Amino acid sequence: MLGASGRTQLQQLARDELPGLYALAWQLAGTDAEDLVQEALLRACRNFEQLRDPKAAGRWFRVILTNVWRDRLRKEGREPDEVSMPEEEGFSLYRTLVEEDPLPYSDTLHVDFLGAFSEHDVHEVLQRLPLRYRAPLVLRYVEGFSTQEIADLLELPLGTVLSQLHRGRQRFERAMWEYSEESGLLNEATQGSGTTPGSSRSARGPAHGPAERPATGVSS
């Protein structure tokens, strides 16, 4: 049991971190995100004396949340490093854009292509990636953990994390391209109607299906 002041401090720190924790939980666990955040908060509460510097609370909460998630996967017999997929070498989104030229009137093709993606679109693309690629990608590029920290968090060899990151980037690029074609994203962009987030697409934010659905199309 924490003292009254410790309790108040933990609650304040936790409230500040809720949006960030939920975002990370969503990327890792999809519709289980809320439950994952709750379990992480309980574990944080039990281990609050471990937090020496309140300024490091954001990082501390995220480490706990990732650990809880990893433990859950393990308990369910689902590991993020299951079987390795065939290599996805050679796909370059940059070159695909040059060759396919999906925005023929643009002088800044690559920037405009990326600019057409709302937050909702980026979430959709990430959800198409298998978990073992999405998790390292999010931990590295969204949350800013180093590759060694990710290896420690996921209890994987550094080489495995590096290779998952590499493949994850390639899959992400391919998924960006496929999503742009399937969603008609670029048609909207060229019709000059702007790129209102989620305009013609269903809902904003995380109204997607389960996180661990098969990665449609990315392996073809």
Residues that bind another protein (CB under 8 A): 1-2, 7, 10-11, 14-15, 18-20, 22-24, 26-27, 33-35, 37-39, 41-42, 45, 90, 92-95, 110-111, 114, 117-119, 122-123, 126, 137-138, 141-142, 147, 165-166, 169, 172-173, 176, 204-206
Is the Cβ–Cβ distance between 216 and 128 less than 8 Å? yes
Which residue, 83 or 203, has its beta carbon nearer to another protein? 203
Tokens for 177? 């391209």
Which residue, 43 or 79, has its beta carbon nearer to another protein? 43
CB of 9 to another protein, least distance (A): 11
Tokens for 179? 């999503």
Strand (E) or helix (H) holding 50? none
Q: Phi and psi dihedrals of 194, rounded to 5?
A: 75, 180
CB of 137 to another protein, least distance (A): 7
Which residue, 166 or 201, has its beta carbon nearer to another protein? 166
CB of 136 to another protein, least distance (A): 12
Is the Cβ–Cβ distance between 169 and 131 less than 8 Å? no
Residue linked to tokens 């990151």 = 165
Residue 26: CB atoms within 10 A of its CB come to 23
Burial class (CB in 10 A: 0-12, 13-18, 19+), 99: exposed
CB of 119 to another protein, least distance (A): 5
